[in-house]
Chain A
Amino acid sequence: MTSGTPNWDRQQVEQVIDSLKDKPGALLPILHGIQDVQGYIPADALPMIAEATKQTRAEVHGVISFYHHFRQTPPGSHTLQICRAEACQARGARTLETYAKARLGIDYHQTTADREISLEPVYCLGNCACGPSVRVDDKVLGAVTPARFDTLVEELTCTPLEVK
């Protein structure tokens, strides 16, 4: 196997790059576009991005790794972010993050064994009066207690997670 990034759609990535490469400062829009359709930035897409934006692969890699948002590995079916910032801390975010890690059996930047949920930290979702806040894909949820977190995880996974 020559590719380190299986199951990616080269044609789709090419389309994204072609549609955005002529914008001024196109790199971030391109990276967003690729991640929106692929879920991450496949390593094999780097040379294509570099060529289209007339940058070196090192420069493109530097940009991808600088921003928390961009992933270099495929995420689980859902990305679940927990707000770690002060306003949520004041309403119990620290308890929630400890609980969530234990409940899912993973740490931040990891994905559950069944590939359902990737857990990520986030610094502020702008729901600061009604924390603790969690973002699941493009939905923000407020006042997330450990009990509410359980319900959420069950909704996301359909079948309950079993700790083996």
Chain B
Amino acid sequence: MAIKVFVPRDTTALAMGAEAVVTSILAEANARDTEVELVRNGSRGLFWLEPMVEIETPSGRVAYGPVTVDDVESLFDADFLQGEQDHPLALGVPEEIPYLARQQRLTFARAGVIDPVSLDDYLTHDGFKGLEKALQASSQTLVDEVKTSGLRGRGGAAFPTGIKWQTVLDCDAEQKYIVCNADEGDSGTFADRMVMEADPYMLIEGMIIAGLAVGADQGYIYLRSEYPVAHQILNEAITNAYDQSYLGDDIRGSGKRFHLEVRLGAEAYICGEETSLLESLEGKRGMVRAKPPLPAIVGLFGKPTVVNNVLSLAAIPYILANGGQAYADYGMGRSRGTLPFQLAGNIKQGGLVELAFGITLRELVESFGNGTWSERPMRAIQVGGPLGAYLPESQWDTPLDYEEFSAIGAVLGHGGVVVFDDTVDMGEQARFAMEFCVAESCGKCTPCRIGAVRGVEVIDRIRSGERPEANAELLNDLCETMIDGSLCAMGGMTPIPVQSVVQHFPDDLIRAADTAGEK
């Protein structure tokens, strides 16, 4: 019988050479007259071990990684197909790798385990259990279950999902929409991508349930064009779901309907902002809309619309299958459930860590991340994407919780954690925050459109030693104006990383000024 070999088709695994490893394994197996059955799973999110190859043995799966083409021959020599562990790349049972064993995987329970486009795999791993229940329940029951779970929007704004759904349910309209925000533009984040590449049916199931809950029969996944692999996998999964009538005019013979389509963005960070996203879906420039009216009331094509992040929708099947309370039992304070943290940047063990809220940042980067990739001391950690604060070591003991982070002027955002070592020039990072806003502002409101341009100029003046104190004051005023006067979070939060540098790493701005002044 052919031996099952798993090689992920996840973006990072591919970026680290998975395709060449596949070719090499097949060639080597052929040369040795051995039959193997290749499965292209998703990633478990232990990215420093990618490509992580797994073998199915009679006593369960065993892993090897990171595998390069040059390792394949020696792996065969060491009988890895029989699960033999006498090889430097042997990792043993994947679930027992401490990084994974210490996590609380609810949303990512299937990631890396199953073939992402196999409906059979999904079904044998508890897939569509939430939908089964949802098809029997009333809309209000579904919304109530989500309210009980305490789930808050995982895109960054942390708005209670159940309340958003209730608003859409309460609207009287012939047409309503479910829009999945898959424009995961924050640097340092890849959790949405992993859901779509490792377990797309979970997202599809979450969207169908959302449709049943609010009375919407059309869904769109607005996916960023920077994710070609996710695009491919989602489309395969959607086709299969239609074939097996999980999508369509008669979901599993229930008489209920839901249609789903992927729409590609076109490289515009601002389209992750929900109203800009809706404009883009309508075929327009991604210009932010003023709120109110809320998208829940006047959304896509003017109709009531649920706009939820991938992770929010991906949490729904678990909540329905196990009950809202089971989900709410995880977490702390008003942050219920789990959040997939994403360890990125200069980190030795980068990857996805799904945990209940409440672990400290230090614990996360030290015990999971195991320090920096460059092996130099850590200096700053940016949490929550390009609009998030840079935290100095004195703040690393803050628990990862929406309210705790808010209290120190920082944000959790989408859970991205980007580590920098001591070679970082924080003045340059502050400048980049403004530069990014110049490139990505939609241009609708003045504080953001003009403020960011002026921000780059002022920081350049400070760094070149031109009246540093007066210009620092100007920078502060500018930040306040952007925060108070911008229409959305793009302009309103761009100052957060800048101010965190001014507050916690002032020497990097001043040091640059001193050096320039001496010239």
Footprint of B on A, CB under 8 Å? 24-29, 31-32, 53, 59, 62-63, 66-70, 85-91, 122-131, 133, 135, 138-143
Q: Are A140 and B267 in contact (CB under 8 A)?
A: no
Q: Are B350 and A128 in contact (CB under 8 A)?
A: yes
Could you list 9 A-B pairs, sorted by A, with CB under 8 Å? A25-B281, A29-B264, A31-B266, A67-B265, A86-B432, A91-B345, A122-B267, A128-B350, A142-B16
Q: Are B266 and A68 in contact (CB under 8 A)?
A: yes
Q: Are A129 and B12 in contact (CB under 8 A)?
A: yes
Partner of B345, one of A66, A87, A143: A87
When A122-B226, A124-B226, A129-B344 are in contact, do A28 and B263 touch as well, CB less than 8 Å? yes
> Is B351 on the interface with A (CB-CB < 8 A)?
yes
Q: Are B418 and A86 in contact (CB under 8 A)?
A: yes
Contacts of B285 on A, CB cut-off 8 Å? 62-63, 66
When A86-B386, A87-B344, A90-B424 are in contact, do A128 and B190 touch as well, CB less than 8 Å? yes
Q: Are B269 and A129 in contact (CB under 8 A)?
A: no
Partner of B267, one of A26, A29, A53, A69: A69
> Is B228 on the interface with A (CB-CB < 8 A)?
yes
Contacts of A123 on B, CB cut-off 8 Å? 185, 187, 267, 269, 386, 436, 439-440
Contacts of A139 on B, CB cut-off 8 Å? 14
Contacts of A63 on B, CB cut-off 8 Å? 283-285
Taken together as a complex, chains A and B put the C-alpha atoms of A62 and B287 apart, in Å, by 11
> Is B282 on the interface with A (CB-CB < 8 A)?
yes
Contacts of A89 on B, CB cut-off 8 Å? 345, 429, 432
Q: Are A90 and B189 in contact (CB under 8 A)?
A: no
User: In B172-190, which residues have CB < 8 Å from any A CB?
Assistant: 184-190
Q: Closest chain A residue to B419 by CB distance?
A: A90
> Is B50 on the interface with A (CB-CB < 8 A)?
yes
Q: Closest chain B residue to A55 by CB distance?
A: B283
Q: Are B351 and A129 in contact (CB under 8 A)?
A: yes
Partner of B268, one of A29, A68, A138: A68
Q: Closest chain B residue to A139 by CB distance?
A: B14
Contacts of A143 on B, CB cut-off 8 Å? 15-16
User: In B246-290, which residues have CB < 8 Å from any A CB?
Assistant: 263-269, 280-286
**Total B residues in contact with A, Cβ cutoff 8 Å:** 60
Q: Are B190 and A140 in contact (CB under 8 A)?
A: no
When A25-B282, A68-B266, A130-B16 are in contact, do A125 and B418 touch as well, CB less than 8 Å? no
Q: Are B187 and A128 in contact (CB under 8 A)?
A: yes
Chain A proximity mask over B366-383: 1 for CB below 8 Å, otherwise 0 = 000000011000000010
Number of residue pairs A-B, CB distance < 8 angstroms: 158
Taken together as a complex, chains A and B put the C-alpha atoms of A5 and B262 apart, in Å, by 31
Contacts of A67 on B, CB cut-off 8 Å? 265-268, 286
> Is B6 on the interface with A (CB-CB < 8 A)?
no
Q: Are B11 and A91 in contact (CB under 8 A)?
A: no
Partner of B286, one of A26, A66, A90: A66
Q: Which of B15, B301, B342, B343 has the most CB of A within 10 A?
A: B15
Contacts of B122 on A, CB cut-off 8 Å? none
Q: Are A129 and B190 in contact (CB under 8 A)?
A: yes
Q: Are A128 and B226 in contact (CB under 8 A)?
A: no
Taken together as a complex, chains A and B put the C-alpha atoms of A18 and B282 apart, in Å, by 18
Taken together as a complex, chains A and B put the C-alpha atoms of A24 and B306 apart, in Å, by 17
Q: Closest chain B residue to A140 by CB distance?
A: B15
> Would you give the shortest CB distance from B367 to chain A, in whole angstroms?
16
Taken together as a complex, chains A and B put the C-alpha atoms of A70 and B225 apart, in Å, by 11
Taken together as a complex, chains A and B put the C-alpha atoms of A35 and B373 apart, in Å, by 38
When A128-B416, A143-B16 are in contact, do A90 and B345 touch as well, CB less than 8 Å? yes
Taken together as a complex, chains A and B put the C-alpha atoms of A27 and B185 apart, in Å, by 22
Contacts of B228 on A, CB cut-off 8 Å? 138, 140
Q: Are A26 and B439 in contact (CB under 8 A)?
A: no
Q: Closest chain A residue to B283 by CB distance?
A: A27
In the complex, the 10 A-B pairs of residues with the closest C-beta atoms, listed nearest first:
A129-B350, A27-B283, A85-B187, A90-B345, A142-B15, A67-B266, A128-B344, A69-B266, A68-B267, A129-B47
Contacts of B429 on A, CB cut-off 8 Å? 86, 89
Q: Are B373 and A91 in contact (CB under 8 A)?
A: yes
Q: Closest chain A residue to B184 by CB distance?
A: A126
> Would you give the shortest CB distance from A25 to chain B, in whole angstroms?
4
Chain A proximity mask over B1-37: 1 for CB below 8 Å, otherwise 0 = 0000000000110111000000000000000000000
> Would you give the shortest CB distance from B237 to chain A, in whole angstroms?
18
Contacts of B440 on A, CB cut-off 8 Å? 123
Contacts of A125 on B, CB cut-off 8 Å? 11, 226-227
Q: Are B226 and A87 in contact (CB under 8 A)?
A: no
> Would you give the shortest CB distance from A14 to chain B, in whole angstroms?
19
Q: Are B283 and A140 in contact (CB under 8 A)?
A: no
> Is B217 on the interface with A (CB-CB < 8 A)?
no
Q: Are A91 and B346 in contact (CB under 8 A)?
A: yes
Taken together as a complex, chains A and B put the C-alpha atoms of A24 and B285 apart, in Å, by 15
Q: Are A66 and B268 in contact (CB under 8 A)?
A: yes
Contacts of B442 on A, CB cut-off 8 Å? 66
Contacts of A126 on B, CB cut-off 8 Å? 11-12, 184, 189-190, 193, 226-227
> Is B508 on the interface with A (CB-CB < 8 A)?
no
> Is B347 on the interface with A (CB-CB < 8 A)?
yes
